[in-house]
Structure 1
């Protein structure tokens, strides 16, 4: 398939710069792919479209302050280090700006208590770095690192917790699983009272989720590996629901990728930790996920390809065109859609 098959026109003013307040006041586009029906609601009305016994699967990853600003010890030139994945105690896979000037052996200083050495290149154009520090690295990072907001967000974020889901728990992501940003404690209580069940998985969002597609034929695109984990209790929840014909509703594309990566056959997932480079695009046969909550994604991205695989490419693009016309807010701090079933 050609990458142009997943393009759409988005006016810049439709890109949300700040999160909705309260979280669940964002708009919700409800899609029925089987009947090609589109409805316009608010996120706090999500319960109207969920049934008792539905199982929501959330990604409980927590964003780390992954952006560090430092200077080259040799020249004093400004350098940005973006943490992608921890390799061991002190080594990380990173993105570096300006990349061309930062060679192996370069020392980057972030202050008196933290520096790093560039020790290797990666196949995706990044760098492996080794941090040197006095104290506890996580505490230093919390003080010195910056929240890694996407480059299309130009407004500063007054409350850093607004780029975390309310159920975030496991530190390790370079970006938020943004479909979960719409949930509030009161909405989750309401859904529990209705009999909706909750399960949690972990996928640490890294380069695989947001790396642009640079090939014209999408089948040639190679995803970057990301760490995921499926607890035993979540697997048991899924297996019971599948046996009883209840829906598994994935909250966000990261939850979809986790569940489908852990699938061993139709309706069954394997527990434990793993690494995934799964790339889902039209033609993929879903084994676990029955319905999806997601945000609106960038043109030509792997995420809009994933949603097109679930809801159908033509219907997905038609929904996006409707969202532009109806002035929905797009991307990380934007509005949401609930896809009720597979195409």
Structure 2
């Protein structure tokens, strides 16, 4: 199977540049993964596809304001640094622009000395390992100096940085938001609980490797970047009971899906676990940890389009995407949602 098999043309005006004022106001395309049938709904209608005994799985990661703008200490040349993941201690894997300005030994200054960084290792694709120097707590320093790391296709400024966080975000560490979770509000989640549906939380700190374009022709040649995940004993118990009692597990977002499938692949059951996953899900993959997936619309030829195609079939997914384009759905991070399930809407 080739990368080109997952290509489609997306008019640029359908890329959502700003979030809707009401998180739940987005549209919802429902794709039946068995029949390929498509239903146009609105996001609150997602409740009509859930039943008592089901379990909704949320990723509670919190995005770091990890985009930093600084200067080279020696020359004053401007440099942009994006913190990706903590390597050890105060050393971080980062992306640097322009990378050619930063070699091993280069020292950078942010906020007139509030944060300093020294390059200790050069990586591929503009990556650098930077050793950070600061006083106090790093998260507080980032809150003062950093900006939200919005994807490059979003060119508008974000007025409220909390709109790039889910309402259930808790554990800091992501370089990008689990965007399928952005549609939920506390009120709508309360409705889910009233219906007798469990809510379980997992953590996967999203790295930019998930969104990078696939640079090989054959899917089997692609290597995913590793991302940290964690599942608690409590969540494992909820998920195990859901499966045992015949309920369905609905993953909110591809990050939740990858975490569930990583644990099932490595342990054969839901259990307390943490580690680094580089799981790559594409057609032919056998899902064991979820029954349905709530997600946004993804970039052409991306690993995320491949993941949803593994669940619903490539032809079904591409047909649904073409329908969404013709129906003027909003795409990507601040765009509309898609539910992949085998249920029809409850009347």
Settle same-fold status: TM greater than 0.5.
Answer: yes
Mapped contact 1:247–1:291 kept (Cα < 8 A): yes
Shift of the alpha carbon at 1:341?
3.3
Shift of the alpha carbon at 1:122?
2.6
* Distance 1:54-1:180 versus aligned 2 partners, 3 A rule: same
Which residue is 2:37 aligned to? 37
* Distance 1:233-1:133 versus aligned 2 partners, 3 A rule: same
Mapped contact 1:23–1:184 kept (Cα < 8 A): yes
Which residue is 1:241 aligned to? 242
Which residue is 2:76 aligned to? 76
Shift of the alpha carbon at 1:123?
4.8
Paired with 2:264 and 2:92, the residues of 1 have a C-alpha distance of 29
* Gap regions ≥5 residues in structure 2: none
* Distance 1:341-1:99 versus aligned 2 partners, 3 A rule: farther
* Distance 1:68-1:266 versus aligned 2 partners, 3 A rule: closer
SS at match of 1:269: coil
Which residue is 1:64 aligned to? 64
Paired with 1:295 and 1:266, the residues of 2 have a C-alpha distance of 28
Shift of the alpha carbon at 1:132?
1.1
Paired with 2:265 and 2:258, the residues of 1 have a C-alpha distance of 13
Mapped contact 1:265–1:287 kept (Cα < 8 A): no
TM-score computed with the length of structure 1 as normaliser: 0.97
2:217 aligned with 1:216: yes
Paired with 1:138 and 1:88, the residues of 2 have a C-alpha distance of 16
Mapped contact 2:226–2:276 kept (Cα < 8 A): yes
Which residue is 2:130 aligned to? 129
Instruction: Deviation per CA, 1:56-97: give whole Å up to 9, x if none.
Output: 000000000010001111221111110100122311000111
SS at match of 1:310: helix
Paired with 1:199 and 1:276, the residues of 2 have a C-alpha distance of 20
Spell out structure 1 runs of 4+ moving beyond 3 A. 264-267
Shift of the alpha carbon at 1:267?
7.0
Shift of the alpha carbon at 1:125?
4.3
Paired with 1:340 and 1:5, the residues of 2 have a C-alpha distance of 23
* Structure 1 range deviating more: 317-326 or 104-113: 104-113
Which residue is 1:168 aligned to? 169
Mapped contact 2:237–2:271 kept (Cα < 8 A): no
Paired with 1:91 and 1:78, the residues of 2 have a C-alpha distance of 21
Paired with 1:304 and 1:183, the residues of 2 have a C-alpha distance of 22
Q: Size of the alignment, in residue pairs?
A: 342
Which residue is 2:113 aligned to? 112
SS at match of 2:282: coil
Paired with 2:291 and 2:135, the residues of 1 have a C-alpha distance of 49
Instruction: Deviation per CA, 1:124-162: give whole Å up to 9, x if none.
Output: 541110011122222111100111111111111111100
TM-score computed with the length of structure 2 as normaliser: 0.96
Mapped contact 1:264–1:270 kept (Cα < 8 A): no
Which residue is 1:2 aligned to? 2
Task: Please report the RMSD computed on the Cα atoms of aligned residues, expressed in angstroms.
Answer: 1.4
* Gap regions ≥5 residues in structure 1: none
Mapped contact 2:36–2:316 kept (Cα < 8 A): yes
